[in-house]
Structure 1
Amino acid sequence: MATRPMPREERRPRSFYALAAFFALFVVFLYGPVVTILALSFQGPSGGLTFPMNGVSLYWFERLWGGGGTVDIGSAFRRSLALGLTVMVLTVVISVLAGLAFRKRFHGASALFYIAVASLIVPSIVVSLGIALEFRILDEILRPYLSALGLVSERGNSLGLFTSGLGAHLSWTLPFGLLIMFAVFNRLDKSYEEAARDLGATNWQSFRHVVLPMIAPFLIGIALFGFTLSFDEIARSSQAMGATNTLPLELAALTTTVTTPEIYALGTSVTAVSFTVIFGTLAAFLSLQRRRRRRAKG
């Protein structure tokens, strides 16, 4: 029998290689600065801000975390971590509640939706200034009455990490959480909940045992959005934090004063925390999925 000739492999067009080269340049442009900072942060004591590297060591990390640097990294890190976790929890809870509320038609839903996402199109620095001004106005109005009751002192203001700072960060994270939940609930089949109710489940049981497991992956995404956006936020924090600084604000301040790889060590530390939270959360989620599959098989 005559054998058929093997088909020749189709050659890729020249446009493929041109687009591949463009994509490679884009990746280098996107991640090149991160890799550069990561490498320069591991220099020796005589290291500088540019290549070539002068030795390889953990000297600048030891100086930064040991309190020998120009910033109290421990306090700034704890403030950013506490604020990021608080924003994460509130973003998830409020987004879920808002998503459930918008499943039912009510008067003014469209206007409320546009108000909720409007902060995405407003410049971040303007939002920060507006929140700071709002809290100063509230101080002028309410502080005399509160001080007369002995609740606050006559000096100072209410600008702080978990007051104006928390509001500024939520104005950035909530729109993303709301948009995700609206998309999720619009695609969620209500027949599952109806079947649970037909079997005697209450509204809470229906949500707890039917809806929540179905939307759990999206809640993890919202949580990661909330934490990372808050932990790395600078513009909305710049005017709304009061006398305290978060870690990104300390990093921004150091860019004009520090001339040693200590600033690279700080940048590497901030990036490492973000990646640790992201990959740690994903690993925990995958682990839970595997346990559920094992229980289902068992």
Structure 2
Amino acid sequence: MGDRRSKSFYFLGAFFIAYVLFLYGPMFAIYILSFQGPDGGLTFPMNGVSLVWFGKVFSGGGIVDIGAAFKRSLKLGLVVMILTVLISVSAGMAFRKAFRGSTILFYVAIASLIMPSIITSLGIALEFRLLDDFIVKHSEGWTTAMGLFTSGLGAHLTWTLPFGLLIMFAIFNRFDGRLEEAARDLGATPWQTFRHVVLPIILPSVVGIGLFGFTLSWDELARSSQAIGSVNTLPLELQGLTTTVTKPDIYALGSITSAVSFLVIFLALIVILVLQARQRRHGSDAGQGMV
């Protein structure tokens, strides 16, 4: 029997290639065009090759302060990452034991995944405006409680926490509780059991939760649009620039933004691989010790 492929294989293969080009083609086009020469435009063909547009991004020139927006997004992303990890791990540990109202609390926690992002953003903004109206009545000179690390932080957490919680549920669903029982039998306290038994096992997944938290916050647009306050994050500045941009510096900024995301993903994958290798090595050493 021959190994000749059917016509449907080539048709589906061509369709898949076209789909990949449609999905990633614009992204790679932006990366390439960001290296235009000083007289380059927004479309092909390229007019020279240089790093001049990256220099303009870092120089701080232009209509908006891109450098400040970059720092704000970076700080907010790091705070969201830390809080997402801490709250998700704590909630995952808590949900391992049944308690009254756990089902309702679970559905409330993940409800924001199915809610339109703009509705969530508008709801948070309205909540803080009502809070401002209440404070104004009792305090003169008050402006607003909305800001990067108040309403903006809350808006981003409504997006990252459900993912972190679902990941923790998946982790503990296949966690061997006998390991904790053995630690308690040896006299370990609950904190020692968590620190020396549970955390080392779930640590690669916890790093993944942190990765989710940062990247989702770093690229968030809709939930930031109404709840971020008087300052803008980098995605909001990018959205504003797309309506007036005439030079490839916007492409350079997009390339830098993507590079930060890829760098975070790459570092997280390295940490996960190192932790998994250490777990396998410790498991092998423990097995040899028993022999």
Q: Does the TM-score normalized on the shorter chain lie above 0.5?
A: yes
Partners of 2:184 and 2:2 in 1: how far apart?
A: 58
Per-residue CA deviations over 1:232-290 (Å, capped at 9, x if unaligned) read 00000000111100000000000001111111111111111111111022223334555
Aligned to 1:280: 267
Write out per-residue CA displacement over residues 95-115 of structure 1, whole angstroms, 9 at most, x where no aligned residue.
Answer: 011111111111111111111
CA contact (8 A) 1:144 1:154 kept: no
* 1:286 maps to amino acid: L
Q: Does 1:49 align with 2:42?
A: yes
What is aligned with 2:81? 88
Do structure 1's residue 180 and structure 2's residue 173 form an aligned pair? no
- Tell me how far apart the structure 1 counterparts of residues 209 and 25 of structure 2 sit (CA, whole Å): 27
Normalised to the residue count of structure 1, the TM-score between the two structures is 0.90
Q: Show the 5 A alignment for 1:98-247.
A: 98-145=91-138, 147=139, 154-247=141-234
Once residues 64 and 269 of structure 1 are traced to their aligned partners in structure 2, the CA distance between those partners, rounded to angstroms, is: 9
Aligned residue-pair number: 285
AA partner of residue 35 (structure 1): F
Inter-partner Cα distance in structure 2 for 1:115 and 1:129: 18
- In the alignment, structure 1 segments of 5+ residues that lack a partner are 1-7, 148-152
Q: Which residue of 1 aligns with 2:289?
A: none
8 Å contact from structure 2 (residues 152, 228) kept in 1: yes
Q: Secondary structure at the match of 2:261?
A: helix
Residue in structure 1 matched with residue 288 of structure 2 by the alignment: none
* Residues 135, 164 of structure 1: 8 Å contact kept: yes
Cα shift at 1:131: 0.3
What is the identity, as a one-letter code, of the residue corresponding to 1:65? F
Work out the CA distance in 2 between the residues paired with 1:118 and 1:224: 21
Match of 2:45, SS state, is coil
One-letter code aligned to 1:233 = E
Q: Percent of aligned positions with the same letter in both sequences?
A: 67
Higher Rg? 1
Q: Which amino acid aligns with 1:97?
A: S
Between 238-247 and 64-73, the greater mean CA deviation after superposition: 64-73
Return the offset for 1:9.
5.4
Asked if 1:248 corresponds to 2:235, the answer is yes
